[in-house]
Amino acid sequence: MATSEMHPVHQFESWQVWPGSYDNKFVPGQYPHNRDQGLVMDRFTPIASMGSCFAREIRKVLIREGYSYIREETDHPASVHASAAWERTYNTFSMRQIFEYTFGSFTPNTRWWISPKTGQVQDPYRRIILYGSVEAAEKDFEHHVECSKRALLKSKVLILTLGLTEIWEDKSDKSVICLPSGPYFNEGGGRDEYEFRVSRYQENLDNLETIYGLMKQYNPECRIIMTVSPVHLWATFRKDMDVISANCNSKSTLRAVVDEFVCRHKDVFYFPSYEIATSFNMLMNQSCFEYGKENFHINRATVEMIMKHFFEFYSG
């Protein structure tokens, strides 16, 4: 009688096999990866970045390690998170709007929020940036657009960190605000103007394709590194599921979107921040989370491990 092996014989590289399984050696602290990433940069490569909370951590380490990190609007508080005063950018819609107002046209029906009680002027599309008057807001925004353009045009590598899929849309024109927060909402504004929903795979992919198209038009030599933020949702606006399930949906959707996006473009690359923080840390019996009231953030040791691998992936 013929016999059949349960597991057919295949030839795999070590990074293709789950670390520590069977005779595949597990090296604590060494994330398994293909050494040929197809992208090499050094400390002289101009790098820009934007995205959610983890983008700020990437920025800090790149500057600390002496890389040519692009910094515009250095006197603006919102620039501590990215290469310009984009503030934290949690979703692909807000990212797309940045590229549109930088290189094209973004003319939402509501350009500024005026707080009902204090009269403070707030930018709906950047996280809680406040002004004393519309005139001051428009002057600063005009300057911001020029700085945004310089940052993106100078970059040879652009790092985009995706955070979540939950969005708030203007009911009139579908523009997406950063968050329903700040004095405008605290003083009772915006309650009936915006609608919460969970964005889905195709529209997030479409947003990335729009970003890619604009970058190819205005800075065709720039290469893009995509990553999914390992910072978890602090809270969900969803009423149909808990925050842990909502977080899983957000990250899973964005990870699938990024996989398709990277596969479509030879000059777009994926870096596994999320996988290093969660799955790989688990293999080493370590938590990726901070302690205390902000335990949805990742801890310092995990940030350092992620960035150590970032340099191993891409540094020549």
Domain that holds residue 26: 19-105+143-166+198-314
Nearest of 301, 243, 245, 249 to residue 277 by alpha carbon:
301
Find where tokens 């789950």 sit. 18
Does residue 122 carry a pLDDT above 80? yes
| Residue 36 domain flag | yes
Query: Which CATH number fits the domain that encloses residue 75?
Result: 3.40.50.1110
In a domain, 110, yes or no: no
Q: Cβ contacts of residue 75 below 8 Å, gap of 6+?
A: none
Query: What residues does 268 pair with on adjacent strands?
Result: 224
**297 neighbors 290 (Cβ within 8 angstroms):** yes
pLDDT of residue 27: 87
Average pLDDT estimate for 98-125: 96
Q: Please count the structural domains in the chain.
A: 1
pTM: 0.94
Per-residue pLDDT averaged across 128-151, rounded?
Answer: 97
Band (pLDDT 50/70/90 cuts) for residue 4 is low
pLDDT-derived band at 315 (thresholds 50, 70, 90) equals confident
Q: How far apart are CA 63 and CA 54, in angstroms?
A: 15
Q: What burial letters (b/e) apply to 270-300, b meaning 16+ CB within 10 Å?
A: bbbbbbbbbebbeeeebebbeeeeeeebbbe
| Domain assignment present for 7 | no
Q: Is the dihedral angle over the CA atoms 55, 250, 148, 214 positive or is it negative?
A: positive
Backbone angles phi, psi at 158, to 5 degrees: -120, 125
Q: Is residue 214 part of a domain?
A: yes
> Distance between CA 180 and CA 127 in Å, rounded?
9
The type of residue at 33 is: H
Q: Per the domain annotation, does 4 fall within a domain?
A: no
How many CA atoms lie within 13 Å of 288's alpha carbon, on the beta-carbon side?
A: 24
**Per the domain annotation, does 240 fall within a domain?**
yes
Q: pLDDT tens digits for 68-99?
A: 999 999 999 999 999 999 999 999 999 999 99
Picking from 120, 225, 227, the residue whose alpha carbon sits closest to that of residue 181 is 120
Q: Give the pLDDT band of residue 294 (cuts 50, 70, 90).
A: confident
Q: Evaluate whether residue 136 is within a structural domain.
A: no
Indicate if the pLDDT at residue 316 is higher than 80: no
Question: How does residue 109 score in pLDDT terms, banded at 50, 70 and 90?
Answer: very high
At residue 40's C-alpha, the angle toward residues 281 and 98, to 5°, is 80
Alpha-carbon gap, residue 165 to 251, rounded angstroms: 8
Bridging pattern class, strands 223-228 and 157-162: parallel
Q: Residue 231 — pLDDT band, cuts 50, 70, 90?
A: very high
Which own/partner pairs from 107-114 qualify as long-range (CB within 8 Å, at least 24 positions apart)? Answer: 108/170, 108/173, 108/175, 109/170, 109/172, 109/173, 109/175, 110/170, 110/172, 110/175, 110/193, 112/137, 113/182, 113/184, 113/189, 113/190, 114/184, 114/189
Domain assignment present for 120: no
48, 152 in Cβ contact below 8 A?
yes
Sign of the CA dihedral with 166 first, then 245, 160, and 257 last: negative
The per-residue pLDDT for 86 is: 97
Phi then psi for 92, rounded to 5 degrees? Answer: -70, -25
What is the structure's pLDDT at 8?
A: 66
- pLDDT tens figures, 158-213: 999 999 999 999 999 999 999 899 999 999 998 899 999 999 999 999 999 999 99
Contact between residue 36 and residue 299 where contact means Cβ atoms under 8 Å apart: no
Please identify which residue in the block is written with the tokens 């797309």: 96
Residue 250 has pLDDT above 80, yes or no: yes
pLDDT score of 2 more than 60: no
Query: How does pLDDT run across 5-58, given as a tens digit for each residue?
Result: 666 677 888 899 999 998 888 888 899 888 888 899 999 999 999 998 899 999
pLDDT at 100: 98
Q: What is the pLDDT of residue 207?
A: 98
Where b means 16+ CB within 10 Å and e means fewer, 45-65 reads bbbbbbbbbbbbbbbebbeee
Sign of CA dihedral 22, 23, 27, 28: positive
Give percent above pLDDT 90 in the chain: 80
**272 and 227 in contact (C-beta within 8 Å)?**
yes
